[in-house]
Amino acid sequence: MPKTSKVKKKVIKAKTKTTSKAKPKATSKPKEISKGPIKISKTYIPKESEKYMCEKHKVFFRMKLQEWKKELVRANNEALYNGSMDDNSISADIVDQASSYTDKNVEMKAINRQIKLISEIDKALARIREDTYGFCLDTAEPIGLKRLMARPVAKYTIAAQEKHEKDEKVHADD
């Protein structure tokens, strides 16, 4: 009989050791680590039936904004490089010089608009990180998926945007 009681004690000790080791591992992991990054397919489109600005929506809009920014930067770099290569201002004909100047002026205005848009994209990406993306800066109401799909850098609901534009027009008339 003494031999069996020693075996039982060893089995009991072994069971308590394994269970005590397993429990801390399960409880010591934070919930965030166990989730992992959200992955979406390239064909994913946010749906109205999903919770507004869930992680899938944020990932979708982050990817969309980053891709748009890459395209704008590439286009600006190409325009600046090609603009520096085309220098017809040395031409003897004054009409050619004027035409070249006008073309460059139009290109530079387009590049400046794109630079401002890149800045807006950066602000939208910051709002995604801060969990405020997709909500109106004035009213804190949801902007809406359709509006964000059409204009991912939108900061206001349609009503708030119209109010801002009306205020700008009133102040411009003063």
How many Cα atoms sit within 13 Å of 120 on the Cβ side?
A: 14
For position 86, what pLDDT does the model report? 60
Count other Cβ atoms within 10 Å, centred on residue 99.
14
Mean pLDDT by 10 residues, the chain (174 residues): 49 46 42 61 90 94 97 91 65 83 90 96 97 96 96 96 90 67
User: Mind giving me the DSSP string for 109-162?
Assistant: HHHHHHHHHHHHHHHHHHHHHTT-TTB-TTT--B--HHHHHH-TT--S-HHHHH
Q: First and final CA of the chain: distance in angstroms?
A: 104
Q: Break the chain into its structural domains and give their ranges.
A: 51-133, 135-174
Specify the CATH number of the domain 51-133.
1.20.120.910
